[in-house]
Amino acid sequence: MLESLGASFVFETVKKFSTVIPDVIAKRRVKSFFGKTVLGEKFYIVVDPFEHPEPRGSVLPQKNRYIKRFYGRKKKDSGLVGEDKVFGSCNLRTINYAVSFFGKFRNSLKPIRIVSDDAVLNIWDAGFLCFGSADSNVKTFDIEKLPENNFYSLSWDKNARCFNVGGKNHHIKNGEDVGVLVKIRNPRHNEHFLFLCEGLGEWGTSGAVYYLFHNFNNIYKRTKGKEFCMIIRTKGGSDESAREIDMLLK
């Protein structure tokens, strides 16, 4: 009887530690990669709301700023005055990926902080993970323009938007969007890091976010704490198709 109880105790103890140790290692990797404050208060995921050019009060009663599609559920689609600030469907995908990933490492009472770009315009004493291009996310724009970002720029080539990475232009082509996944040290507060998941279109952005979180361990091992810029291509409509084209390290 005592031998049976002893064997059971040893088994349960080994079982417990076999799950705890991998969790500890995973959390250590997350803090090493994203910065020590990633599981605390000084880390923000920054998304990009946009506004209708016509103020709510200036729209005539019989007119609407937005259309809600009902896909045959009603005789016709409905017009809406709508919210002043709205988010695209891309934000739903990217936030879902982020919450699913960080939720494994954070206390449920202290979820990852997700904010709009206007909420952190003048804040730099933190780590930032920005979703959306410099054309739509002001924090992305500010980080992209830092002198310390010598990886890439968002520019124009032949009247088309493109990313210039290492002197080469990357465009949307053959139904594939292009995005960049960037990590640089925060030059104003060196204990933090700045991350950008930026696409030329929405699938470039969400594809870069998907690639980051679904290939985290591989990216962690390959980059070894260095700053980097990855070029990601994604087929429109499928974040799961995201694949790496190239990577610059420094």
The reported pTM is: 0.87
In the block, which residue shows the tokens 């084209």?
A: 245
What tens digit of pLDDT does each residue of 103-119 get?
999 877 788 999 999 99
The pLDDT-based confidence of 81 (bands split at 50, 70, 90) is confident
Reference 144, options 202, 196, 76; nearest CA is 196
Kindly state the percentage of the chain with pLDDT values over 90. 71
For the ranges 23-32, 48-57, 157-166, which has the lowest average pLDDT?
48-57
What tens digit of pLDDT does each residue of 233-244 get?
999 999 999 999
The pLDDT-based confidence of 53 (bands split at 50, 70, 90) is confident
Looking at the predicted structure, is the pLDDT value of residue 54 above 80?
no
Q: What is the pLDDT of residue 62?
A: 55
Residues 6+ apart with CB under 8 A from 80: 64, 65, 66, 67, 68
69-89 as b/e: b if 16+ CB within 10 A: eeeeeeeeeeeeeeeeeebbe
How far is it, in rounded angstroms, from Cα 49 to Cα 84? 10
Q: What is the pLDDT of residue 9?
A: 46
Structural domains in the chain, CATH included, are 34-49+87-249 (3.30.379.10), 54-84 (no CATH)
- The angle formed by the CA atoms of residues 242, 246 and 250, to the nearest 5 degrees, is 125
Residues 6+ apart with CB under 8 A from 207: 177, 179, 199, 232, 233, 234, 239, 241, 242
CB-count exposure of residue 236 (10 Å: 0-12, 13-18, 19+): middle
Q: What is the pLDDT of residue 43?
A: 97
Looking at the predicted structure, is the pLDDT value of residue 248 above 90?
yes
What tens digit of pLDDT does each residue of 124-182 get?
999 999 999 999 999 999 999 999 999 999 999 988 999 999 999 999 999 999 999 99
Phi/psi at 46 (5° precision): -115, 120
Tokens representing 226 are 């260095």
